[in-house]
Amino acid sequence: MQRLLARGLVLMGTMILAWAGAFTSARMNADLTALLSQGPRVAGTPAGRAAGDYLAAELKKVGYTVEFQPFSYSRTRDQGSNLKVGDKDIPVNALSGSPAGRLEAPLVVVMGIGRAEDYIGLNARGAIVVVRRGGIPFLEKARQAATVGALGMVVVNNTSGNIRGTFGGGGPIPGVTVSQEEGQALLGQSGTKAVLDVRTVSEEVQARNVIARRGTGNPQAIVGAHYDSVVGAPGANDNASGTVTVLELARDLAHSPISQRVWFVWFDGEEDGLWGSRKFVAANPDLVRGLRAMLNLDMVGIDVLGKLGMGGDAQLFGLAQQSADLEQVSLQDLGANEGGSDHVPFAQAGVPVLFFTWGLDANYHQPGDKIADLALMAQAGRVARGVLERVVQ
């Protein structure tokens, strides 16, 4: 990687600058419109399948070999879960993967996000714990709660409104999320009797990744984005923005030597627990071991951070900084472990990863997720392209 950094430092900037206008707004807007017209692209639904078909058709137009990687997994569907505290019914969303169950127990408020140390000196046995969202995955919160004997878990959102979260598999205890507004009142009701009724049913999901390549051998790098969204959310920023940006990047590089050594992958089932990326990594161990980089674009259409956020490998971040300087884009280093998106399974397999995001916007997993800024998407795509030019040989 040091050699790659040195190579990046001596790269002639004129090549990058010549690319600066290559991302076509009209074409990207057409892609965005086509994806949003399908409705929420929930994995395993007709809308999700139509989105995958659209990507495949567009990629074939510019000469890519396209294949689908089918896979299946089990997820739960919420059929109307509810939390009742006193005489008040509070709307909740069951976490995907939550077991069903009706619990009558006191609330116990955890003064923290649900780490093991947050339970020191706190008796949560036989209770429904109330924890704040953030810091650690929902599954880890539930495991810690179950370890101390809690029967159920309510997670208070850390932004306005509620979300649809996932355990990424089967959870140990029933778990739900509640809006920040409703949750604030719960934080002061430790000891209050509550009834948590989690009504979930399991269903088998038939999903598929979309893989595009031009070369015949294994790639040196993968660029990816998840193309699924959640129930009720059009998914413009999360993650049609990343999906369209990677599609346009693939078009732009279609006749470049770089395309012979890079695979472009659109992952399905991310919202249910990174299923697509996990399945890809598991199915391609030799390919994954040989990767120099995996770049993942997720939520690159709304500027929340004020800078383009980057999380992952420090040396790849250095290459991104060189590209961003030429593009006059400011970066924010999010650290090595930022972002619960499709780069994670690759990082766990030892691949250097770089996660691109402009941040988590207010319409995350909401019906209002209808807008993505094409200029921001193009900026992220051009920085990603610069990283590839420095990594791929």
> How deeply is 377 buried, as exposed, middle or buried, from its count of CB atoms within 10 A (0-12, 13-18, 19+)?
buried
Mind listing the pLDDT tens digit for each residue in 124-156? 999 999 999 988 889 999 999 999 999 999 999
- Please compute the mean of the pLDDT values over residues 178-189 and round it to a whole number: 92
Residues 6+ apart with CB under 8 A from 155: 95, 114, 131, 132, 133, 138, 141, 165, 175, 176, 177, 178
Length in residues, the chain? 393
Domain spans in the chain, listed from the N-terminal domain onward = 2-74+205-391, 80-198
Task: Please tell me the distance from the alpha carbon of residue 134 to that of residue 181, in angstroms, as a whole number.
Answer: 16
Nearest CA to 96 out of 112, 79, 114, 116 is that of: 79
The sign of the CA dihedral 273, 307, 9, 336 is negative
Residue 12 has pLDDT above 60, yes or no: no
Pair 199, 80: CB distance under 8 Å: yes
Could you report the per-residue pLDDT of 122-132, keeping only the tens digit for each? 999 999 999 99
Average predicted confidence (pLDDT) for the chain: 92
Q: Is 3.40.630.10 the CATH number for 2-74+205-391? A: yes
- Asked whether the predicted pLDDT for residue 21 surpasses 80, the reply is no
Domains 2-74+205-391 and 80-198 share a fold: no
Phi and psi, residue 76, nearest 5°: -105, 150
Per-residue pLDDT, 89: 95
CA distance 186 to 367: 25
How sure is the predictor about 365, in pLDDT bands with cuts at 50, 70 and 90? confident
User: Model confidence at 5, in pLDDT bands (50, 70, 90)?
Assistant: very low
pLDDT band at 59 (very low <50, low <70, confident <90, very high): very high
Q: How far apart are CA 195 and CA 218, in angstroms?
A: 54
What's the pLDDT band for 340 if we cut at 50, 70, 90? confident
In terms of Cβ atoms closer than 10 Å to its own Cβ (0-12, 13-18, 19+), residue 260 is middle
DSSP letters, 318-357, are HHHHHHHHHHT--EEEEETT---STTHHHHHTT--EEEEE
**88-91, strands of its sheet edge to edge:** 88-91, 82-85, 193-198, 101-109, 128-132, 152-156, 175-178, 93-94
* pLDDT > 70 fraction of the chain, expressed in percent and rounded: 95
Residue reference for tokens 């999906």? 243
Q: Which amino acid is at 116?
A: A
Q: Which token pair is 256?
A: 């470049």
Q: How far apart are CA 102 and CA 100, in angstroms?
A: 7
Q: Which residues contact 33 (CB under 8 A, 6 or more apart)?
A: none
Query: Considering the domain 80-198, what is its CATH architecture?
Result: 3-Layer(bba) Sandwich (3.50)
Say if residues 16 and 326 touch (Cβ distance below 8 Å): yes
Task: Please state at what angle helix 241-252 crosses helix 25-36, rounded to 10 degrees.
Answer: 140
Mean pLDDT of 102-126: 96
Burial, 18: exposed, middle or buried (Cβ in 10 Å; 0-12, 13-18, 19+)?
exposed
- Looking only at the bridges linking them, the beta strands covering 82-85 and 221-226 are unpaired
H or E stretch covering 245? helix 241-252
pLDDT of residue 376: 97
With contact defined as beta carbons under 8 Å apart, do 229 and 206 qualify?
no
Query: Residue 9 pLDDT > 50, yes or no?
Result: no
Beta strand pairing call for 175-178 and 152-156 = parallel
